[in-house]
Structure 1
Amino acid sequence: MEGGWPPRRGVLLCLTVSLLLPGRGDTFTINCSGFDQHGVDPAAFQAVFDKKPFRPVINYSVPTHVNVSFTLSAILEVDAQLQLLTSFLWMNLMWDNPFISWNPEECVGLNKLTIAAENLWLPDIFIVESMDEDETPSDLTAYVSSKGRIKYDKPMRVTSICSLDIFYFPFDQQNCTFTFTSFLYTVDSMLLGMDKEVWEITDTSRDVIFTQGEWELLGINKASPKMLVGDNLYDQIMFYVAIRRRPRLYIINLLVPSGFLIAINALSFYLPAESGNRSPFKITLLLGYNVFLLMMNDLLPSSGTPLISVYFALCLSLMVLSLLETVFITYLLHLATTQPPPMPSWLHSLLLHCTCPRKCCPTAPHKGNEGLGLPQAQLPGLKEPVELVEKSPGPGEAEVAGGSGWTRAQREQEAQKQHRVELWVQFSHMMDTLLFHLYLLFMASSILTVIGLWNT
């Protein structure tokens, strides 16, 4: 037959006509002659592959509906200095291609196929916050159903911008955003939706990253605002991802050692101030705390002012104040034992009120050895009590005492000096106790305030 078509061209013409003829529901039915138990002939989908550069719609006034979801499989790094979140996720896209349709009963019962993604039209969905170049592998495949439903899973390593607040480090929670949208198609050409509920995405992601890394997933929420760029309106889906840091490492390496050093510094107040061992001990603790901060500096955020840095500065300040208090008490004791000045009457009255508030004590200093109404053994800070009551002269001493009156005046002067020493030593111990209580009060209130802020 001279005017007939060659057999191969006739088959291709029939295949093309079968693809272009409209079928049920404005779809195009694929000829199942290329389907068998050994595979699928690529020629059966050649017409679909040829339409790859164009959006797969019969009527271009109808937008393509693309369902977007993702699975967060790993949180790789959180950079507080650069305000970046590096994560690994699987982006799941699903849409309909009306040019793909076949009857499973006529096509050896085949309901689903895998086709190389490079042969299909793919929606240009991207993450707005992403700062890295898309490095998606080029040899991915897509699932295609007999009704033209295409499902495409795309693995992505995403480094995205995230507004990080490290004030509550290491008990901080961060909220980052993944915004999925198209950079080419407006709402007239593409609409975004979801084929999964948000709780399904959250549960799947939490199961995947439950035991991985420093961070744990708290929850995911979504919003669907439109994005206006100039005169163009784009559809988008925003996912709000809440993550929380696991603080165990920082509690063990930072907070516990610091708490031990502060506790030891507080207990050092029980060392006797007269022994001279308290000041060297506190200086050693202060140097050790500075060495500890230098060694643990790598665990702290390199930018911002987290609350834990305020806590460390507060602990260091408490240790410095404790050392200054010890220096002050040591100075008072040295002044009392060398050249004690006369104690003012108001200070003497205050000392009497603090030492014996429930007893009937004199309100003004007496002359001689009767300054305090306390026995000699009750005055702290004295190694050998001095006898303040004069001894009665013996028979052999009467003549000497009568002939040397200046000796009695000297003994009275020494007794008055010893009495002033006792008063200033007692005042030093009272100030030491008072400052120790103030130190404990300030330390407890400051630490409780920091812990309260962390709990919020």
Structure 2
Amino acid sequence: MRILIVIICLSIHRVTSQTNQNMQSLMNDIFSNYSPKVRPMVNQQDPLPLDVSFYLSSINEVNEVREKLVTTGYLSLTWTDELLRWTPSDYNNTDTIFIPQNDVWKPDLVLKNGFQKFEELGGSFYYLMVFHDGLVSWWPFDVFESRCSMDITHFPFDTQTCDIKFITWSHYVQQIDILRSSSGIQFYEYEENSVWDLVDTSSEIQKEQRESQVKFTLTLRRKPLYYVINIILPVIFLGYLNILVFVIPVDAGEKMSFSVTVFLSFAVFLTIISTLLPTSSANTPIIATYLIIQLIYGVIALIISAFQLRLHHRNKTEEIPTFWIKVVQIQRKLRCKRTQIDALDTNLNENEVQKIANTDDDSPDVICGWNHVASSIDFFAFWSFLITNVIITVTMFSVSAVS
């Protein structure tokens, strides 16, 4: 029976409660000779170890034009204040207190690569948790706007690596030594971004000369579906519409208007893409290069169409150079088709019709009409544009997707 009573007594935890007098007495004792202006080390020659962790809540914005990263989260800073220690049993087992951040010493940690503001973390309403052994924990929450150099060569299949750097601005590494974060980047009620996927995180301690800083790295991959549907596919389709100008007959009278319309569409897409990209970027996006190539194709198509119209409306009695005759002959061979000559062809006189009828297509003396020359130009231009456009499209977007 005595053994049972002893076991019950040992198993019952002592219930304690701190009163207002206990807390006031503790505050008066530990802050009687305390100053938040003095680094909390008994030996001021020793560095103060500072543990920094980053808890990410969301990625609010990745602005490629301004090269800015906006994130929401908080830092977890832990250090030991050797001047804030007490024995819990002397104050009714009080082992933890909360102190306003401005009443105790705290490290002057700031965002080094901030975008537009440079100020201390936290605020007057923040409290720090202080343990009886001097361990202090601080969790300043903020919206961090940091600079991030963007490489948009593979846009919209690009991957960006952005750094968030924190540094002790006034203290050297001999005074405050930032240690490798115990937990690195963690997540606190993280909300996924609609445009970017967070694929990797890391943390690193950097000590440059006498400075100590911690760098948190976020690796982001863009979700390309929106841009593929709204930009890339329309651009590719317009590129192939540009080739159809060589399918339209010269007599239709729509060659020039069709080609100009497609050219202006490319100009509009180039304007849209330029608003999405950094204006001072050293790297030209592959898609922008592709658009410029398509604009060049459009200009060439306009020139060829204008030249065709000029040839088509030439005087039918004007002699056709041998070069164009050979072009027509090659075109007929490639099409495996022998052109039938109609005596009623308005572009040929009776003598030319008779000469064509009596002459083999392989002969260099074959005479043809200017309409045949225009048709041959359409044939060679169509296949040249189609083959080169397919090669360029497959090559450029394959390279862009492999980022």
The TM-score bracket by the shorter chain reads: 0.7 to 0.9
Q: Deviations over 1:120-154 (max 9, x none)?
A: 21112223222413263211011223332211011
Q: Which residue of 2 aligns with 1:48?
A: 30
- Indicate conservation of the 8 Å contact 2:352/2:367, yes or no: no
1:320 aligns with 2:266: no
Q: Which residue of 2 aligns with 1:129?
A: 113
Return the offset for 1:69.
Answer: 1.3
Q: Distance in 1 between matches of 2:343 and 2:183?
A: 81
Return the offset for 1:293.
Answer: 4.6
1:341 aligns with 2:319: yes
Secondary structure at 2:368's aligned position in 1? helix
Mean CA deviation greater in 181-190 or 72-81: 72-81
Q: Distance in 2 between matches of 1:192 and 1:425?
A: 81
Q: Deviations over 1:68-109 (max 9, x none)?
A: 111233334445455443333312100112344455567556
Q: Which residue of 2 aligns with 1:407?
A: none
**1:300 and 1:123, CA in 2 relative to 1: closer, same or farther beyond 3 A?**
closer
Which AA in structure 2 matches 1:161? R
Q: Distance in 2 between matches of 1:328 and 1:129?
A: 57
- Indicate conservation of the 8 Å contact 1:101/1:146, yes or no: yes
Q: Which residue of 2 aligns with 1:399?
A: none
- Indicate conservation of the 8 Å contact 1:72/1:209, yes or no: no
Q: Distance in 1 between matches of 2:350 and 2:196?
A: 78
- Indicate conservation of the 8 Å contact 1:209/1:216, yes or no: no
Q: Which residue of 2 aligns with 1:193?
A: 179
Secondary structure at 2:206's aligned position in 1? coil
Q: Distance in 2 between matches of 1:350 and 1:287?
A: 32
- Paired residues for 1:279-298 under 5 Å: 279-291=256-268, 293-294=270-271, 298=275
| Percent of pairs with identical residues | 23
**1:383 and 1:440, CA in 2 relative to 1: closer, same or farther beyond 3 A?**
farther
Q: Which residue of 2 aligns with 1:436?
A: 382
Q: Distance in 2 between matches of 1:438 and 1:358?
A: 15
Q: Which residue of 2 aligns with 1:267?
A: 244
Which AA in structure 2 matches 1:415? Q
Secondary structure at 2:30's aligned position in 1? helix
Which of 178, 187, 207 is 1:204 aligned to? Answer: 187
**1:96 and 1:157, CA in 2 relative to 1: closer, same or farther beyond 3 A?**
same
Secondary structure at 2:153's aligned position in 1? coil
- Indicate conservation of the 8 Å contact 2:332/2:338, yes or no: no
Which of 208, 219, 222 is 1:242 aligned to? Answer: 219
Q: Which residue of 1 aligns with 2:7?
A: none
- Indicate conservation of the 8 Å contact 2:73/2:143, yes or no: yes
Q: TM-score normalized by structure 1?
A: 0.69
- Indicate conservation of the 8 Å contact 2:22/2:92, yes or no: no
- Paired residues for 1:123-162 under 5 Å: 123-130=107-114, 131-134=116-119, 136-162=122-148
- Indicate conservation of the 8 Å contact 1:178/1:240, yes or no: yes
Q: Distance in 1 between matches of 2:266 and 2:172?
A: 60
**1:94 and 1:412, CA in 2 relative to 1: closer, same or farther beyond 3 A?**
closer
Q: Distance in 2 between matches of 1:356 and 1:171?
A: 44
- Indicate conservation of the 8 Å contact 1:216/1:243, yes or no: yes
Q: Which residue of 1 aligns with 2:6?
A: none
Gaps in structure 2 of 5+ consecutive residues: 1-15, 360-365
Which AA in structure 1 matches 2:317? Q
Q: Distance in 2 between matches of 1:375 and 1:185?
A: 89
Q: Which residue of 1 aligns with 2:77?
A: 93
Q: Distance in 2 between matches of 1:374 and 1:234?
A: 83
Q: Distance in 1 between matches of 2:123 and 2:327?
A: 84
Which AA in structure 2 matches 1:448? V
Q: Which one has more relative contact order, counting CA pairs under 8 Å at least 6 apart?
A: 2
Q: Deviations over 1:5-54 (max 9, x none)?
A: xxxxxxxxxxxxxxxxxxxxxxxxxxxxx962568523312343323222
Q: Distance in 2 between matches of 1:177 and 1:287?
A: 40
Q: Distance in 2 between matches of 1:349 and 1:63?
A: 88
Q: Distance in 2 between matches of 1:93 and 1:414?
A: 95
Mean CA deviation greater in 115-124 or 215-224: 215-224
Which AA in structure 2 matches 1:133? F
Q: Which residue of 2 aligns with 1:58?
A: 42
- Indicate conservation of the 8 Å contact 1:224/1:237, yes or no: yes
- Indicate conservation of the 8 Å contact 1:132/1:158, yes or no: no
Q: Deviations over 1:418-449 (max 9, x none)?
A: 99663554443233211111111221222223
1:415 aligns with 2:361: no
**1:255 and 1:128, CA in 2 relative to 1: closer, same or farther beyond 3 A?**
same
**1:129 and 1:375, CA in 2 relative to 1: closer, same or farther beyond 3 A?**
closer
- Indicate conservation of the 8 Å contact 2:101/2:126, yes or no: yes
Q: Deviations over 1:231-260 (max 9, x none)?
A: xx2333233332233333333332232223
**1:48 and 1:35, CA in 2 relative to 1: closer, same or farther beyond 3 A?**
farther
Secondary structure at 2:187's aligned position in 1? helix
Return the offset for 1:321.
Answer: 1.9
Return the offset for 1:303.
Answer: 3.8
Which AA in structure 2 matches 1:279? M
Secondary structure at 1:137's aligned position in 2? coil
Secondary structure at 2:39's aligned position in 1? coil
Mean CA deviation greater in 80-89 or 322-331: 80-89
- Indicate conservation of the 8 Å contact 1:58/1:98, yes or no: yes
Q: Distance in 1 between matches of 2:197 and 2:334?
A: 59
**C-alpha RMSD over aligned residues:** 3.6
Q: Which residue of 1 aligns with 2:363?
A: none
Q: Which residue of 1 aligns with 2:9?
A: none
Return the offset for 1:417.
Answer: 8.4
1:36 aligns with 2:18: yes
Q: Distance in 1 between matches of 2:249 and 2:194?
A: 50
